[in-house]
């Protein structure tokens, strides 16, 4: 092939040279019948090339080494692999070549050559890559393959490119994997980070088989077991059937029973099996994946040494284990661990069936069955407690029956009572009483109480029965109605006679009953009693008799201590005391209490718990307050007593009246002194008293007042008693401000027609003032007043100038809004606006005044005793519909009330402010001169004319060419000056214009006067 190309090239070169030579020598063109001449050496070379044999390449391409990485991925239902292949390819000739890449069966994801994506060609043998250029290429392939599961594990067939040599890496997401690669050599396995990495070298092949299996955690599982036994003589013959699941085909050793049992036979799937001993257990061997049935026959002895007969069976731990035991006769069977045993009786045998929980040891116990009638009968004991107390005409009994049901269970309880006792209520602390009925007894002396429960009860159960018995006129021999239980194996009882608030019970007769101490009552009964126990009895007889009589209880005054805390308040003409008496009853109870106070005190009030009445009794030693309670008072309680004394001129040094508690074993006291007015207090005499820091006073005493505590003392009641005399020095009080205006904002709109409408908004704080007094300018008319956002109606004082506005008391600021109109002079040709602010009768901290004057006139600088903040700034607010709607809404909402007037803000804005503006003798005022537009223009004209007249008169006085009478000249000067003053003053013409005109005229006059001298100077210079 190369020779042909070389020959063609030589011929072309020769032809080109000949053509160039002919053209260069200007030879004629050669026709088609010409000849070609070449040098001999060229001809020989061409001949040699034509006769050489071509040598084609041995193959169109070659596949070098490949690197394959397999990443195994576990899914929930399958396993797959992601294969990455790097392949080296060489193409030998520049012609179209088809390079086989992958056999069929691969799910290709991507294919690249030297990093550029390529498309593969589908051929009958698989996927191939086509190219027309020779060279070396690197191909990368990524594809996936699913693994196939088998009994032995997983198989992954990998289609791979046929390469001279292949380096294989398998990445498996688990450890302990038994993995094989076919064909594969030089395998190495590394486990790290929970993964297994296997490398191998693979010879030239188009497929690799990767297989693996993960060893199971357990080679087998026993899911169910059923044991059937029968009692024969002194042993139980058992046959056990175990369902075993083998997870692999390997040979497995299954432990069965401990070697302590007598083994009879072992079979696997119905065939005799091998039995061996392993770790203290009999075991058998089985092989084959799947389910197998293992049958075991063995014996266990009956144990009768401790308690009822039983048999202990050691078994493998199986999730579901069932026992069936056949016993002769009628038996009751129990099992340990506890489970529900189902027994059936047939042909004088008992068959017990039970499912036991997951355990290794099962104990079956049996005893002879109890007859059915005895099994259902309940056996119970009871203790009956009675708490008995009397009221006028009634004997009350609170009974408590504690049942102990030792055998069986019941839902019905039966009691007996004397027929004349009336049951009020029956309850159970644990609940369960459904209903109860009464039935007369056989002899009519007693009646039967049947209590129905909503469930079967066993063990301990408590009933509370409340009943009563009416008392006749004879209360000296009362039979106490006692409860009696029916159908009880054994019963006993106790009776507690209580001391009521009105009556007490004394025993008068006893039969089959014994008096015991109060401590014999159980704690739960004693703690439930709210009355004192007078007598306690115990009995075991089924028919005890106890007779009592009602007597008035002996009331012994209890022993108590007292703590008296007194707050003394000194006012202008009164001395008030607030005593808090805390009583601590140490023993017994009290129904009455006496409080002692000095003479000449007014008792304002007495309060306390369960206080029925209080009476004030005066005697020669002072006053006694007798307190009576509605119940016996025990523990701790508090009495509050308020009193006062009117101070006279003779009481300049009063003795502090203190309260004492009669009958208190120990009395402690604390005294605190406060002042309600401007008085100076000192302790003149303090006998049997100790000074006390204010911080040592109890919190409830300090919280009674917001004034500071001036003096504090403590004492213990002694003889002579504590005495505190005070020296009171009164001082004249100075009035202070009880109301103030924090901020006053005034907005005044001045109209051309001579009406000044002012909105005054005051931020007020008030503690005691009833009215705000406001002195308005003369002839002012109030349009609206609002206090704290609510409309108010003002009043006018007797002087006719002062307006009274009712205030509210508030420590926080609240707004007061007043809108008033003041008639003033209308705007004219020129003049001045003169306005004054109203003067409140309160201190005003900050005052601001916004003044809006009509547009048009020219306003001069304001004159005011306030600070000018804004000097004549035009304001052009837009009147929007919203303001009108708001005013309409306000008017509708406050029908019949003063309207809220909204004053518009427009025109020329002046603003003034001042601190404490009302503290000066003069009211805040402002005076602003103005000139109308026509007056302003007239002023400018008069100013110009006046300047001209003045300089004309001056010119006439100094002129020699024009003869003007001096009187006329002076008259012109005077008239011009008057015009200038009028223009600058009332008409407000700008002085700048007047000064400029005067300067121009003066300059012209000076030039005129200097012209003769200038001409003389020119003439002198010309002569020289």
SS3 118: coil
d(CA 433, CA 418): 22
DSSP 783-828: EEEEETTEE---EE-TTSSEEEEE---EEEEEEEEEEEEEE-PPP-
d(CA 692, CA 711): 8
613 lies in a domain?
yes
**In this structure, are residues 763 and 819 in contact, taking their beta carbons and an 8 Å threshold?**
no
Q: What is the pLDDT of residues 43-99, one digit of tens each?
A: 777 777 666 555 566 778 888 889 999 998 888 777 888 999 999 998 888 888 888
Q: Average model confidence (pLDDT) for the chain? A: 83
- With tokens 């008259």, the residue in question is 971
Q: For the whole prediction, is pTM greater than 0.85?
A: no
d(CA 257, CA 264): 12
Burial class (CB in 10 A: 0-12, 13-18, 19+), 24: exposed
pLDDT band at residue 630 under the 50/70/90 scheme: confident
- Region 450-463: what's the mean pLDDT? 92
Q: What pLDDT score was predicted for residue 376? A: 55
d(CA 420, CA 445): 8
Q: Are residues 541 and 578 in the same domain?
A: no
d(CA 581, CA 566): 9
506 lies in a domain?
yes
Q: Are residues 649 and 718 in the same domain?
A: yes
d(CA 777, CA 755): 13
717 lies in a domain?
yes
Q: Any idea what the CATH number is for the domain that residue 676 is in?
A: 2.60.40
* Cα distance from N-terminal residue to C-terminal residue, the chain: 130
> What are the percentages of helix, strand and coil residues in the chain, rounded to 5?
15, 55, 30
188 lies in a domain?
yes
- With tokens 């040094």, the residue in question is 653
Q: Are residues 638 and 775 in the same domain?
A: no
pLDDT at 955 over 70: no
248 lies in a domain?
no
DSSP state of 329: S
Residues across the chain:
1024
521 lies in a domain?
yes
- Region 658-680: what's the mean pLDDT? 91
- Region 867-890: what's the mean pLDDT? 60
d(CA 844, CA 433): 80
pLDDT band at residue 556 under the 50/70/90 scheme: low
CA atoms within 13 A on the CB side of 28: 3
Q: Which of 451, 457, 402 is nearest to 426 (CA)?
A: 451
SS3 183: coil
d(CA 873, CA 909): 5
Q: Are residues 991 and 923 in the same domain?
A: no
- Region 892-920: what's the mean pLDDT? 71
* Residue that is last in its domain, among 682, 700, 730: 730
d(CA 481, CA 499): 18
Q: Which of 668, 663, 595 is nearest to 628 (CA)?
A: 595
Percent of the chain with pLDDT over 90: 37
pLDDT band at residue 1006 under the 50/70/90 scheme: low
**In this structure, are residues 187 and 198 in contact, taking their beta carbons and an 8 Å threshold?**
yes
Q: What are phi and psi of 466, to 5 degrees?
A: -115, 120
d(CA 184, CA 172): 17
**In this structure, are residues 10 and 36 in contact, taking their beta carbons and an 8 Å threshold?**
no
CB atoms near residue 101 (< 10 Å): 26
Q: Any idea what the CATH number is for the domain that residue 848 is in?
A: 2.60.40.1730
Facing residues of 324 across strands? Answer: 228, 353
CA-to-CA separations, 739 to 733, 767, 770, 814, 924, in angstroms, rounded: 17, 6, 10, 12, 21
Q: Which of 267-271, 963-967, 980-984 has the highest mean pLDDT?
A: 267-271
Q: What pLDDT score was predicted for residue 1007? A: 61
Q: Are residues 587 and 643 in the same domain?
A: yes
Q: Are residues 362 and 380 in the same domain?
A: no
Q: Are residues 510 and 574 in the same domain?
A: no
SS3 295: strand
Q: Which of 631, 630, 628, 601 is nearest to 613 (CA)?
A: 628
Q: Are residues 33 and 110 in the same domain?
A: no
1017 lies in a domain?
no
pLDDT band at residue 1023 under the 50/70/90 scheme: confident
Q: What pLDDT score was predicted for residue 290? A: 84
**In this structure, are residues 109 and 175 in contact, taking their beta carbons and an 8 Å threshold?**
no
Q: What are phi and psi of 962, to 5 degrees?
A: -105, 130
CA atoms within 13 A on the CB side of 435: 2
- Region 865-877: what's the mean pLDDT? 83
Q: What pLDDT score was predicted for residue 25? A: 35
Residues whose CB is less than 8 angstroms from the CB of residue 791 and which lie 6 or more positions away in sequence, other chains included: 784, 785, 894, 897, 898, 900
d(CA 947, CA 959): 18
Q: Which of 337-351, 360-374, 920-934 has the highest mean pLDDT?
A: 337-351
d(CA 567, CA 676): 12
CA atoms within 13 A on the CB side of 139: 30
- The H-or-E segment that residue 911 falls in is strand 907-915
- Region 209-225: what's the mean pLDDT? 78
pLDDT at 16 over 80: no
Q: Are residues 696 and 762 in the same domain?
A: no
**Sign of the alpha-carbon torsion through 418, 421, 423, 426:** negative
Q: What pLDDT score was predicted for residue 987? A: 57
Order of strands across the sheet that contains 148-150: 148-150, 153-159, 207-213, 178-182
Task: Give how many domains the chain has, as a whole number.
Answer: 7
* Residue that is last in its domain, among 730, 752, 775: 730
Q: What pLDDT score was predicted for residue 294? A: 94
- Region 1-7: what's the mean pLDDT? 40
Q: Are residues 84 and 207 in the same domain?
A: yes
Domain with 968, as residue range(s), is 934-1012
Asked whether the bond before 183 is cis by omega within 30 degrees of 0, the reply is yes
Facing residues of 617 across strands? Answer: 624
Q: Are residues 696 and 817 in the same domain?
A: no
Q: Pull the structure tokens for residue 1016.
A: 């003389």
CA-to-CA separations, 447 to 481, 489, 539, in angstroms, rounded: 12, 20, 21
pLDDT at 945 over 80: no
Q: Are residues 644 and 783 in the same domain?
A: no
d(CA 751, CA 903): 12
- With tokens 């399958």, the residue in question is 78
d(CA 124, CA 126): 6
Burial class (CB in 10 A: 0-12, 13-18, 19+), 277: exposed
Q: Which of 949, 947, 946, 953 is nearest to 967 (CA)?
A: 953
Q: What pLDDT score was predicted for residue 1009? A: 60
- E-strand ranges in 173-319 read 178-182, 185-192, 195-202, 207-213, 220-232, 235-246, 251-258, 262-268, 271-272, 275-278, 281-287, 290-301, 310-314
Facing residues of 208 across strands? Answer: 158
Q: What pLDDT score was predicted for residue 883? A: 40
- 612's torsion region: left (phi>0), alpha (psi -120 to 50) or beta? alpha
- Region 598-627: what's the mean pLDDT? 91
414 lies in a domain?
yes
Q: Pull the structure tokens for residue 815.
A: 């707004």
pLDDT at 207 over 80: yes
């Amino acid at each position: 092939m190369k020779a042909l190309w070389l020959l063609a090239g030589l011929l072309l070169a020769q032809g080109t040279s000949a053509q160039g030579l002919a053209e260069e020598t200007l030879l004629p063109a050669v026709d088609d019948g010409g000849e070609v001449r070449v040098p001999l050496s060229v001809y020989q070379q061409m001949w040699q090339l034509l006769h050489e044999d071509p040598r084609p390449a041995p193959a169109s391409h070659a596949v070098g080494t490949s690197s394959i990485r397999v990443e195994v991925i576990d899914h929930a239902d399958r396993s797959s692999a992601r294969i990455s292949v790097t392949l080296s390819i060489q193409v030998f000739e520049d012609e179209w070549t088809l390079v086989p890449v992958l056999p069929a069966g691969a799910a290709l994801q991507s294919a690249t050559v030297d990093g550029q994506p390529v498309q593969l060609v589908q051929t009958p043998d698989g996927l191939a890559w086509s190219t027309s250029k020779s060279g070396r290429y690197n191909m990368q392939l990524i594809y996936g393959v699913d693994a196939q599961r088998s009994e032995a594990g997983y198989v992954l067939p990998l289609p791979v490119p046929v390469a001279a040599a292949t380096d294989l890496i398998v990445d498996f997401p688990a450890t302990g994997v038994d993995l094989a690669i076919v064909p594969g050599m030089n395998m190495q396995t590394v486990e790290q980070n929970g993964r297994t990495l296997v490398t191998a070298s693979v010879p030239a092949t188009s497929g690799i088989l990767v297989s693996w299996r993960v060893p199971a955690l357990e080679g087998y599982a026993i899911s169910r077991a059923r044991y059937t036994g029968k009692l024969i003589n002194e042993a139980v013959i058992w046959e056990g059937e175990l369902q075993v699941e083998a997870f692999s085909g390997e040979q497995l050793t299954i432990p069965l029973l401990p070697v302590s049992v007598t083994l009879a036979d072992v079979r696997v799937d119905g065939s005799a099996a091998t039995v061996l001993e392993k770790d203290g257990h009999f075991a058998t061997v089985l092989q084959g994946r799947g389910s197998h049935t293992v049958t075991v026959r063995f014996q266990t002895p009956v144990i009768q040494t401790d308690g009822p007969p039983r048999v202990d069976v050691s078994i493998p731990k199986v999730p579901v284990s069932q026992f069936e035991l056949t016993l002769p006769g009628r038996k009751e069977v129990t099992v340990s661990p506890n489970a529900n045993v189902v027994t059936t009786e047939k042909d004088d045998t008992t068959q017990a069936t039970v499912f036991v929980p997951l355990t290794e040891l099962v104990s079956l116990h049996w005893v002879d069955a109890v007859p059915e009638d005895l099994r259902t009968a309940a056996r119970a004991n009871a203790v009956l407690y009675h708490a008995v107390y009397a009221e006028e005409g009634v004997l009350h009994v609170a009974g408590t029956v504690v049942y102990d049901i030792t055998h069986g269970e019941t839902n019905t309880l039966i009691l007996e009572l004397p027929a004349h006792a009336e049951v009020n209520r029956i309850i159970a602390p644990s609940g369960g009483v459904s209903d109860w009925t009464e039935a007369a007894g056989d002899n009519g002396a007693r009646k039967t109480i049947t209590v129905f429960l909503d469930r079967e009860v066993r063990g301990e159960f408590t009933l509370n029965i409340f009943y009563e018995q009416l008392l006749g006129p004879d209360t000296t021999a009362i039979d106490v109605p006692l409860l009696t239980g029916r159908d009880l194996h054994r019963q006993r009882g106790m009776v507690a006679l209580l001391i009521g608030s009105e009556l007490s019970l004394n025993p008068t007769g006893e039969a089959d009953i014994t008096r015991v101490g109060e401590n014999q009552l159980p704690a739960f009964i004693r703690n439930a009693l709210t009355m004192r126990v007078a007598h306690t009895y115990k009995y075991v007889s089924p028919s005890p008799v106890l007779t009592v009589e009602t007597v008035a209880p002996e009331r012994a005054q209890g022993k108590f201590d007292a703590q008296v805390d007194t707050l003394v308040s000194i006012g202008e003409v009164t001395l008030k005391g607030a005593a808090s008496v805390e009583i601590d009853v140490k023993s017994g109870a009290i129904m009455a209490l006496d409080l002692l106070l000095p003479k000449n005190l007014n008792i304002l009030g007495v309060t306390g718990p369960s206080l029925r009445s209080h009476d004030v009794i005066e005697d020669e030693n002072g006053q006694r307050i007798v307190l009576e309670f509605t119940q016996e008072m025990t523990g701790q309680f508090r009495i509050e007593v308020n009193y006062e004394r009117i101070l006279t001129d003779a009481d300049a040094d009063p003795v502090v009246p203190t309260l004492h508690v009669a009958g208190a074993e120990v009395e402690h006291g604390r005294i605190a002194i406060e002042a309600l007015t401007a008085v100076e207090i000192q302790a003149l005499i303090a006998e049997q008293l100790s000074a006390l820091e204010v911080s040592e006073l109890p919190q409830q005493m300090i919280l009674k007042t917001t004034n500071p505590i001036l003096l504090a003392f403590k004492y213990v009641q002694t003889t002579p008693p504590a005495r505190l005399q005070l020296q009171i020095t009164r001082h004249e009080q100075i009035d202070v401000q009880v109301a103030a205006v924090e901020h006053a904002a005034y907005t005044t709109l001045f109209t051309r027609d001579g009406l000044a409408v002012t909105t005054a908004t005051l931020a007020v704080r008030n503690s005691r003032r009833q009215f705000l007094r406001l002195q308005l300018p003369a002839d002012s008319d109030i349009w609206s007043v609002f206090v704290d956002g609510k409309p108010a109606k003002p009043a006018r004082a007797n002087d006719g100038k002062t307006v009274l506005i009712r205030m509210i008391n508030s420590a926080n600021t609240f707004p007061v809004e007043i809108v008033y109109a003041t008639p003033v002079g209308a705007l004219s040709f020129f003049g001045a606006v003169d306005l004054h602010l109203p003067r409140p009768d309160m201190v005003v901290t900050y005052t601001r005044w916004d003044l809006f004057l009509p547009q048009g006139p020219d306003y001069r600088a304001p004159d005011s005793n306030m600070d000018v903040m804004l000097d004549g700034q035009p304001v052009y607010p837009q009147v929007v519909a919203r303001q009108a709607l708001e005013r309409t809404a306000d008017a509708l909402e406050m029908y019949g009330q003063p309207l809220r007037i909204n004053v518009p803000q427009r025109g020329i804005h002046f603003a003034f402010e001042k601190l404490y503006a009302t503290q000066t003798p003069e009211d805040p005022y402002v005076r602003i001169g103005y000139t109308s537009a026509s007056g302003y223009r007239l002023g400018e004209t008069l100013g110009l004319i006046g300047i001209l007249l003045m300089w004309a008169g001056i010119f006439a006085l100094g002129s020699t060419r024009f003869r003007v009478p001096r009187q006329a000249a002076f008259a012109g000067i005077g008239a011009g000056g008057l015009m200038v003053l009028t223009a600058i003053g009332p008409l407000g013409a700008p002085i700048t214009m007047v000064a400029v005109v005067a300067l121009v005229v003066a300059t012209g006059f000076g030039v005129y006067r200097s012209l003769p001298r200038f001409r003389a100077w020119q003439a002198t210079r010309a002569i020289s």
